Amino acid sequence: MDTLYKQSPMRIVRRVSQTSLIRTAFDATSTAADVVTGQNLTGVRAIVTGATSGLGRETARALASVGADVTLAVRNTALGTSVAEDIAASTGTRTVRVAHLDLADLATVTRFTDTWDGPLHLLINNAGVMRPALGRTPQGWELQFATNHLGHFALALGLHDALAAGANQQGTARIVAVTSGAHMYSPVVFDDIHFTHRAYDPQLAYGQSKTANSLFAVEATRRWAADGIVANAVNPGGVSTGLQRDFTQDMKDHLDRLEAAGVFAYKTIEQGAATALVAATAPEFAHNGGHYLDDGNEAVTVPDHVDLAGNSHAVKRWARDAASAQQLWEVSLDLVRQR
C-alpha cells in the first residue's frame, strides 16, 4: 500500500499551523485527469521516475496530456520506450522521452544527472520498492532505503542546478516525493539505518524509507527555497500496483486486515496519481514546500505515538521534524559521497 504555470516569484512560506492547512479543490475521488484539466504545461520539463507502470505511468501520461515535455526515468528502457509510445498515442504528444535510471545504482544516477541538459521544472520522485527479504546494494545499504530515499536524494542533488534554472525561467520549480501512510511504522533509525545490528523487518524498513521521503521534502525546501525550489511529499493512498508483486502471503493478509478495518480503501491508479499532480501543478503549492499531502490536500500532523488505524490520512511528527530532516540530509550526503 502506498498508502508551472508561469507564476511570478514570491517568498516561499511554510505553514505549520494545524488551523491553516492548505486546501485545494481536490479530494480522494479526484483523478489525475481532473487535476490537470484546463492547464497548459507547454514549455514545462518534467522527470518522472519509475514511469513504466502504475502511478508513475499515469502521472507521466497526465503531464504529457497538457503539453509537458516528460522524461521517463526507468530501469527498463525497452519497456519505457513502449510506454512512451503508448502515452504519445493516447495524448497526441511527441514530447515523451526515455532515459535509463536505476536508483539502487548511483553510477546510473550520476550518468543521468551529468547528461541532463537545460532547465528542469518538475521532478517527480515516484519510483519505489517494497522487499519482503533483506536486500543490500554493493555498498551494503539496505535496499529499500537505498532505492526509495538515497537514489532519489542523489538524483535531486545532481539536478539542483537544472531545477534552479527552471525556477529562474518559470518562477518556481517543484519536487514531488512519493511517500506512504506506511511512514507511520517507523522513524528514520539513525543508529542502525541499514539493519546492521537489529533484526530485519520489511515493514519497518519500508516505513523508514517513506519517512525519509517526507523528511527530504522538509529539508530540501529549507535549503533550496532561496533558489525557487519547493519539495512536497505525497501519500497516494491505497493503490494496487506492481509495488506489491513481491509480497509474501503475510504481507497480503496484513493489507487485507487493514482494508477490512477501514484503515484505507483502495483507489484506482488514476485516483492514486492525483495527489502527486496536485503537488506538481496546483497553484496552492507553487511556492509552498515542506508539506505532506493526502487526498489532494495538506495533511494534519499527529503525535508519533498514534496508530495508523484512525490516522491513515495524517502525518506523524517524526516525518516532518526539522532536526531529523537536517540530520538525514547530512547522513545521506555522507553516504552518497562515500560510494
Cα separation, 336 vs 154, whole angstroms: 7
Cα separation, 183 vs 144, whole angstroms: 13
* Set 5, 185, 200, 206: catalytic member: 206
Whether 266 is catalytic: no
Cα separation, 333 vs 153, whole angstroms: 8
Cα separation, 88 vs 104, whole angstroms: 28
C-alpha dist (Å) from residue 122 to 4, 166, 333: 8, 8, 22
Cα separation, 45 vs 270, whole angstroms: 21
DSSP 190-239: GGGTT-SSSPP-HHHHHHHHHHHHHHHHHHHHHHHGGGTEEEEEEE-BSB
Q: What is the DSSP letter of 66?
A: T
Where does residue 228 fall: left (phi above 0), alpha (psi -120 to 50 degrees), or beta otherwise? left
Q: Which residues of 220-244 are buried (b: 16+ CB within 10 A; e: fewer)?
A: bbbebbebbbbbbbbbbbbbebebe
In the chain, which ranges are E strands?
Answer: 45-49, 69-74, 96-100, 122-125, 173-178, 229-235, 292-294, 297-298, 301-302, 315-316
Cα radius of gyration rounded to whole Å, the chain: 18
Instruction: Give the type of residue at 284.
Output: E
235 near 275, Cβ under 8 Å? Answer: yes
Q: Provide the β-strand partners of residue 301.
A: 315
C-alpha dist (Å) from residue 325 to 66, 93, 144, 215, 301: 34, 39, 18, 5, 15
Please list the active-site residues: 206
